């Protein structure tokens, strides 16, 4: 398993690495009384990606299958008179399995992270790319992506009413496949 990180194009939502990434465990908010954190979860229909080769959709045509296996969020809340800022650290674990049609020894994919408000409307969304190496005899591997979203809120807003949503960037055929073959 490897950890990955890089910066993001949207201020307030970025991937991080190094000592800051080691602060949180995948178990979630740490400490005896953690602050009220937004929850994090993978969207059901977008929590799996099956990538097929160009020939067909048989099991022998699979290049890889990737899954989002865990989303954990921990945060600090900085409060001022008229506003508060939620500084979160989110860890997303991806696992991949090599398929018979995989010629590249890797699972390369795009995924998104969105922030949804209390009314479930998406306030912000960003796409990231990552690769899980599947080299040699390795047929399974995983990586953990660490992101550091910030969420500016009014002083009376409840951070728990917000959600961090994660999913694979799927095409229509992949989405139909997931809906026909639920996990």
> Residues 35, 36, 41, CA angle at the centre, nearest 5°?
120
* Lookup: tokens for 133: 């190496």
Question: Tokens 């865990």 appear where?
Answer: 70
**Average pLDDT, integer, range 126-133:** 96
Residues 170, 51: Cα–Cα separation, whole Å: 10
Q: What tens digit of pLDDT does each residue of 27-50 get? A: 344 444 657 899 999 999 999 999
Is the pTM here over 0.75, yes or no? yes
Q: What tens digit of pLDDT does each residue of 72-124 get? A: 999 999 888 889 999 999 999 999 999 999 888 899 999 999 999 999 999 99
In the chain, where are the structural domains located? 2-180
Looking from the CA of 145 toward its CB, the CA atoms found within 13 Å total: 28
Q: What pLDDT is recorded for position 132?
A: 96
């Amino acid at each position: 398993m490897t950890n990955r990180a890089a910066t993001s194009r949207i201020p307030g939502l970025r991937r991080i690495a190094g000592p800051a990434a080691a602060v949180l465990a995948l178990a979630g908010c740490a400490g005896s009384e953690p602050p009220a954190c937004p929850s994090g979860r993978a969207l059901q229909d977008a929590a799996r990606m099956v990538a097929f080769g160009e020939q067909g959709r048989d099991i022998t045509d699979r290049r890889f299958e990737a899954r989002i296996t865990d989303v954990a969020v921990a945060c600090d809340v900085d409060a001022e008179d008229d506003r508060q800022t939620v500084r979160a650290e989110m860890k997303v674990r991806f696992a991949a399995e090599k398929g018979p049609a995989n010629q590249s020894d890797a699972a390369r994919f795009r995924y998104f992270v969105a922030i949804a408000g209390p009314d479930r409307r998406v306030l912000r969304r960003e796409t990231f790319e990552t690769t899980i190496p599947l080299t040699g005899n390795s047929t399974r591997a995983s990586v953990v992506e660490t992101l550091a979203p910030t969420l500016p809120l009014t002083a009376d807003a409840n951070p728990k009413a917000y959600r961090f949503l994660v999913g694979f960037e799927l095409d229509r055929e992949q989405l139909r496949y997931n809906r026909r073959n639920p996990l």
